[in-house]
């Protein structure tokens, strides 16, 4: 590779940073209790409402996405209360582990990895646990590339129980439609380093009135993650502890970019990237992990082929300057994942597919050079 610093980051987070966001983050430091900081915090929180689809005031946490998962669990649940976690992959698994770690009673709805949770399955499950206080979902399950049918699943929860609904939207918010208030989500979570086009280090979460009311009755066993502290600070345009100022400056620029492109176009673009990716890898004879219906617009999982493991392929791709992700847990070596969220356009998909063709050819996998690229171009052509 001629240029060390030049590579294509096509993993499902962290994602590439647009130059103008990088630039915005180089602004000289400001005091975290200054009026400039207050204005910045207020503006970021106000403008995130659109991304979440809520009238609630999104909270800004200086920590990675998992902190917000943990915050949801520890703030909402009280000792001996019961929760359902819908596990469609590694991130659902993480939610379940947090619930267990704090000693709450966990009912785990395990869905085979690679599939979305079907509303009917949830309906039967939830009816067996009438005392459940909270149901936890993963919107996009990053480990498999599944986008769960979140609106239908939430309807099932509200129809058959009084439970609150928590949704991990870390790997899709900012790339898909979200209507937190209309869909009756009680806590919605995202992070900075996925579709939001920022470096890792921030988590964002919005909380419904119903969830705030439940939290107020709790004595929260976490100090840093006590959400009521974030709420009262935010009422004064502030955060309880020093915020990641540089990342917030980047966030403001990211929100500018989403506005300039138009959120509908952002959603449409991700839809196109998904279709191009799926058409391209299929044309190369590779097997997709998810069905068309269950597939996320932000990440695509693909199986290794006859006589080769996905990690061999990833190794060759890396030498070509293309970084894709491997599988997690039992899928390690079995699949590879292409991230196509955030700062990603149609040419980026063409690039990753051409790299894939090169790598497969180097591995003596019989493919037609150009077949994947061509299939993606055809999708692109028919789209514009
Ligand atoms: C990335 C991700 C997270 C957060 O992971 P962190 O490493 O803590 O930022 C949570 N949920 C999903 C679905 C994710 O993709």
Q: What is the CATH classification number for the domain harbouring 24?
A: 3.40.640.10
Q: Does a structural domain hold residue 66? A: yes
Q: Judge if pTM exceeds 0.75.
A: yes
Q: Does a structural domain hold residue 146? A: yes
- The answer for 91, left when phi > 0, alpha when psi is -120 to 50, beta otherwise, is alpha
Q: What is the CATH classification number for the domain harbouring 278?
A: 3.90.1150.10
pLDDT of residue 131: 97
pLDDT of residue 220: 84
Among 213, 241, 259, the domain boundary falls at: 259
The answer to whether 179 and 139 are in contact (CB under 8 A) is no
The answer to whether 132 and 163 are in contact (CB under 8 A) is yes
The answer to whether 155 and 131 are in contact (CB under 8 A) is no
**How far is the centre of ligand 1, averaged over its atoms, from the C-alpha of 329 (Å)?**
15
Among 203, 236, 259, the domain boundary falls at: 259
Q: Does a structural domain hold residue 160? A: yes
Question: What is the domain range of residue 271?
Answer: 8-15+262-383
**How far is the centre of ligand 1, averaged over its atoms, from the C-alpha of 184 (Å)?**
22
Q: Does a structural domain hold residue 1? A: no
Does one domain contain both 249 and 277? no
The rounded average pLDDT for each run of 10 residues, N- to C-terminus, in the chain (384 residues) is 87 98 98 97 98 98 98 97 98 98 97 98 98 98 98 98 98 98 98 98 98 94 96 98 98 98 98 98 98 98 93 96 96 96 98 98 97 98 91
Distance CA 199, CA 58 (A): 19
Distance CA 154, CA 159 (A): 9
Ligand 1 lining (C-beta closer than 6 Å): 13, 64-66, 91, 138, 142, 168, 170-171, 191, 194, 200
**How far is the centre of ligand 1, averaged over its atoms, from the C-alpha of 25 (Å)?**
22
Ligand 1 atom with the shortest distance to the CA of 13: 1
**How far is the centre of ligand 1, averaged over its atoms, from the C-alpha of 192 (Å)?**
10
Does one domain contain both 178 and 267? no
- Residues 6+ positions from 322 with CB-CB distance below 8 Å: 7, 8, 10, 351, 352, 355, 356, 359
**How far is the centre of ligand 1, averaged over its atoms, from the C-alpha of 171 (Å)?**
7
| Residue with CA closest to ligand 1 atom 2 | 170
Does one domain contain both 254 and 344? no
Does one domain contain both 27 and 128? yes
Does one domain contain both 324 and 250? no
Total count of domains within the chain: 2
- The answer for 142, left when phi > 0, alpha when psi is -120 to 50, beta otherwise, is alpha
Among 259, 284, 313, the domain boundary falls at: 259
Q: Does a structural domain hold residue 283? A: yes
Please work out, in degrees rounded to the nearest 5, the angle formed at the alpha carbon of residue 286 by the alpha carbons of 280 and 288. 85
Does one domain contain both 122 and 254? yes
Task: Give the strands of the sheet with 335-339, arranged side by side.
Answer: 8-10, 322-326, 335-339, 299-303
Does one domain contain both 212 and 278? no
Does one domain contain both 326 and 187? no
């Amino acid at each position: 590779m001629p240029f060390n610093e030049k590579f294509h980051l096509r993993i499902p987070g962290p994602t590439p940073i647009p130059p103008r966001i990088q630039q915005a983050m180089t602004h000289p430091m400001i005091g975290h209790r200054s009026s400039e900081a207050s204005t910045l915090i207020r503006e970021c929180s106000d403008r995130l409402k659109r991304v979440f689809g809520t009238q609630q005031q999104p909270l800004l946490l200086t920590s990675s996405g998992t902190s917000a998962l943990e915050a949801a669990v520890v703030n909402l649940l009280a000792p001996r209360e019961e929760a359902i976690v819908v596990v469609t992959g590694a991130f659902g698994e993480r939610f379940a582990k947090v619930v267990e770690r704090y000693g709450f009673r966990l009912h785990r709805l395990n869905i085979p990895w690679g599939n979305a949770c079907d509303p009917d399955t949830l309906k039967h499950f939830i009816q067996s646990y009438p005392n459940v206080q909270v149901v936890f979902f993963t919107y996009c399950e990053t480990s498999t590339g599944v986008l769960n049918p979140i609106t239908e699943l939430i309807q099932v929860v509200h129809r058959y129980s009084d439970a609150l609904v928590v949704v991990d939207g870390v790997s899709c918010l900012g790339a898909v439609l979200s209507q937190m208030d209309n869909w009756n989500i009680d806590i919605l979570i995202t992070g900075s380093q996925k579709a939001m086009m920022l470096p890792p280090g921030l988590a964002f979460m919005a909380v419904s009135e119903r969830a705030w009311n439940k939290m107020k009755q709790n004595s929260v066993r976490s100090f840093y993650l006590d959400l009521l502290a974030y709420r009262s600070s935010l009422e004064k345009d502030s955060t309880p502890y020093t915020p990641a100022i540089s990342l917030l400056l980047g966030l403001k620029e990211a929100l500018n970019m989403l506005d300039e492109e138009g959120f509908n176009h952002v959603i449409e673009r991700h839809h196109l990237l998904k279709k191009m990716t799926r058409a391209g890898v299929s044309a190369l004879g590779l097997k997709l992990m998810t069905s068309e219906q269950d597939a996320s617009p932000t990440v695509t999982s693909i199986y290794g082929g006859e006589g080769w493991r996905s990690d061999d392929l990833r190794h060759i791709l890396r030498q070509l300057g293309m970084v894709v992700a491997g599988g997690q847990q039992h899928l390690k070596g079995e699949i590879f994942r292409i991230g196509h969220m955030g700062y990603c356009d149609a040419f980026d998909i063409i690039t990753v597919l051409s790299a894939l063709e090169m790598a497969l050819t180097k591995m003596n996998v019989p493919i037609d050079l150009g077949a994947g690229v061509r299939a993606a171009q055809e999708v692109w052509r028919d789209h514009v």
